Amino acid sequence: MFKYNLLILIVVVSFLSSCKKCDPSNSTSGIIIEKSRVKVLSGHAGQQFITDTEQYPGIEMSLDDGKTYTSVDFSKYSVMGLTTTAGCSTGYARNVQVNDAAKTVTYTITLSECPTCKNSVTIDNWVLIKKVPSNYSPIFDIKKK
């Protein structure tokens, strides 16, 4: 009985004191269109809020996780981009929110960097969102967890 209790105690202590695992998973929320992908044929994001083709030509969208692409239908959608540089093992939580009272659209990316990789990677983070009026002011925010 003593050996059994000791074994349980060792397992519990090991479980509670083990190091935290880093989870570099990605997520989207807010008004970002589920299962959508944005492909930009030329250029880089920087900080972009695009509401029509003339602003930034050469953007395509996919609504089936990237299997097929078509031109963005700007009567239904807008596009945002926000460039980040982070470690090569990083999770990206992308969120876009609209504040109709303030006439703003906020694109926030929360980075969860894992210490397992020392190299940096730059990503444009293009997202397809529900149509937002072109007179709304964009706000861009990058947070690190």
In the block, tokens 């540089």 appear at 85
Q: How confident is the model at residue 8 (pLDDT cuts 50, 70, 90)?
A: low
Mean pLDDT of 105-117: 93
Task: Report the C-alpha gap between 91 and 71 in whole angstroms.
Answer: 28
Q: What is the dihedral of CA 112, 141, 26, 59, to 10 degrees?
A: -140
Tally of CB atoms within 10 A around 98: 18
Residue 116 has pLDDT above 70, yes or no: yes
Q: How confident is the model at residue 142 (pLDDT cuts 50, 70, 90)?
A: very high
Task: Report the C-alpha gap between 70 and 18 in whole angstroms.
Answer: 48
More confident residue, 3 or 54: 54
Least confident of 28-42, 44-58, 121-135: 44-58
Using a cut of 0.95, tell me whether the model's pTM lies above it.
Answer: no
CB distance 103 to 69 below 8 Å: no
Report the percent of the chain where pLDDT is more than 70.
86
Q: Which of 138, 33, 36, 27 is nearest to 82 (CA)?
A: 138
Task: Report the C-alpha gap between 23 and 37 in whole angstroms.
Answer: 22
In the block, tokens 């509670």 appear at 16
| pLDDT the model gives residue 13 | 44
- The whole-chain average pLDDT of the chain stands at 88
| pLDDT the model gives residue 36 | 97
| pLDDT the model gives residue 12 | 46
Token readout for 37 is 């992908």
